[in-house]
Every structure is written in structure tokens, then in C-alpha cells.
Amino acid sequence: METNSSKYEINVNGSLFDWDLDDATFRFENDDVVVFWVNTAFKTLLDSIEEISGEKSAKLVLETAGYRTGKIVSKFYLESNREKEDIINHLPNIYLTAGWGKTDIVSFCLKEKKAVVRVNSGWEYKINITQKKQTEGTFLPGHWAGVLSGLFETNIWYKVRQSQVQGDQYSEYEFFESGITPSQNISALIKERTQSNQKELEKEIAEQTRVLSEIIKEISSPIIPVIDSILVIPLVGRYEELRAEELLNRTLLNLPRYKAEYLILDLTGLKGVDQYTLDFLKKFVKAASLLGSNCIFVGISPELSLQIIMSGNKETQIPCFSILQQGITHALNQLGLEISPKR
């Protein structure tokens, strides 16, 4: 009904709409509202939320938003001092008039705090169809869970019994008292994401560690042929069990191929020498000797020489030199060879 040139109002099926063009207000049931085109503007809003947060998070965002707006609706009507049963019976007409679809409260029980709600051609269904979704939306059932939580004065959650998006004649939601809340769902999602991220990080670290280990195996302690019968192996860094066994196995497998009579171990870059390292050197020397190779130590620091003596190992019988050149010269002398200028 038009009241003057700038103010309009209309009663639709018992629900009041009014406009004040001077104040630029549009009200429904005495509260400000705004109109969106469902299949374009409102769809774009929901698409944007999903694009930014991801599909799973977007469903939770809409469900939570629906629940919280439902609590606001229940509070609004409870403040009218109407009986709860009257409010529940009146709500389907309100939602129908507001364009939320044909809503029927199939059953409800204030004492048992249960209800069944059907929605036909709701705005969320229309958007989901436009989006080509194949699962029921979460805003409307979450919204009704919020409405009934307020009216029943306890936490209410829902179960989708039928879904119009999935081909049923209408969507039907069952509501019941539950410990589930949107806050719990948000916490669960955060925990799930944290665990997922942790697993991805652990997987990435494991893969990087594997690749690094392979690289270390390739470049660590290379077997360097000097001439026939003489090999040099530089020991670099720390040697824990895995790395030490890898070096020993690789060396022993290659010694017969090289037919090395002398194996020079360059200890210049050896770090963190402990009892395990000293025992490993002793094991290495014995294993090489069984294959007919004589070991020579070069690059021994004064500190390392003291460690060898104090450990009780009998490596003193092994030729030891301070620099690699001396070790190679010794091996050549033992083989009856020498390096001389070219004539």
C-alpha cells in the first residue's frame, strides 16, 4: 500500500515490507534488508568465498554463518514474547515470503527437542544447481539448526535426510539435540589441516633427506685412483654408523676391481672423531688387508694422533704422514716406482 510519494509498504501474506526512499531504507518485518539476485550477484558472493577459502572451508563457513544467523532469528522472535509453538508455526510463512523457498516444519517436539524441516526450491538449492554442485548446501540446514537451538534453548544439530540437489523432490533435514557445534567443526577442520600440513611437511622433509643422502653418498668419500695399485679416499665430516657402513661396503666392493695394493685414507677433513670413528678406522684397515690392500693414513693432526694412541688401538703400525703428497710418495717407493721429470 502506498502511503506517500517516498514511503511505501505492503503486507504479503502477513509479512510487512516497507520502503523509505528518502532514508534509502528497505525493511522486512521492521528490520533492514537488502535484495540480491540469487543466480548472479549472490552466487558470485558464494563463489568468491569458495575460491578464496577452498570448497571444504567454504561449506563450513556457510554452515557456521547459517547457524549464527539462525540464532539471531530465534532471538528476534523470542523477544516478541510469543509462545514458542506459535513462533515455530509462523516461521514457514516468514521464510516463504522472504524468498527462502517453500518451507514446511513437518514435525517438532519442544519436550524432546526434535524437529523435521522440509525446504523446496530454496535459494541455496538454486545457487547450488547453477554452480553444478552434487551435494546438499550447508547454509540452510545450519541456519535452521541455529533457529531451533535458540527456540529449544539447547544446542541442536542436523542430519540431511533428503536432498533436492541430489534429485529428491525436496530437501529434508532432521534436527536433534547434539554436542556438535560450528565451533567444534571449525576446530576439527583446523586440526585436520594442521595434521595434513604436518604430514605434507614430514613427507617433503623425508624426500629431501632421501635425495640429500643419495647426493652425500655420491660425493662423500669418493674413491680416487692415483695410478694403478694406489687409491686415495678422503674422509670428510662425521662418520656415524650408516655413513661409515656405506663407505666400507662401497670401498670393499671396488677394491678388487681397482686391484689396489695401497689404500691412502686422507683424514684431513675428518670431523668429530670419537671412539666409534676410531673403531671404524681399525675395522676399515683390517677389512682392506684381507683383500690385499695396505692402508696409509695421511692428514693426521696432533690431536687425532693422541686420540689414536690413548684409545689403545694399534694403528701405530700403519704408515702415517702429515700430507697427502708424502703418503703417495711412500706408496710409490714401496712399489719401486718414482715420479720423475719428462725427458
What percentage of the chain reaches a pLDDT higher than 90?
41
Instruction: Supply the pLDDT for residue 102.
Output: 95
Crossing angle of helices 55-78 and 84-97, in 10° steps, is 130
- In the chain, count H helices and then E strands: 10, 13
220-334 matches 55-185 in CATH topology: no
All structural domains of the chain with their residue ranges: 55-185, 220-334
Superfamily of the domain at 55-185: Trafficking protein particle complex subunit 3 (3.30.1380.20)
pLDDT, mean of residues 62-85: 91
Instruction: Supply the pLDDT for residue 84.
Output: 94
256-280 pLDDT, tens digit each:
888 889 999 999 888 888 888 888 8
Using DSSP bridges, classify how beta strands 224-227 and 230-234 pair: parallel, antiparallel or unpaired.
Answer: antiparallel
Instruction: Supply the pLDDT for residue 248.
Output: 87
pTM over 0.85: no
Which residues are CB-contacts of 329 (< 8 A; sequence separation ≥ 6)?
Answer: 339
Strand-pairing partners, residue 160, are: 173
- Give me the helices (H) in 100-240, please: 123-130, 139-152, 182-219
| Band of residue 29 on the pLDDT scale cut at 50, 70, 90 | confident
Domain 220-334 in this protein, CATH class: alpha beta
Backbone dihedral angles phi then psi of residue 233, each to the nearest 5 degrees: -125, 110
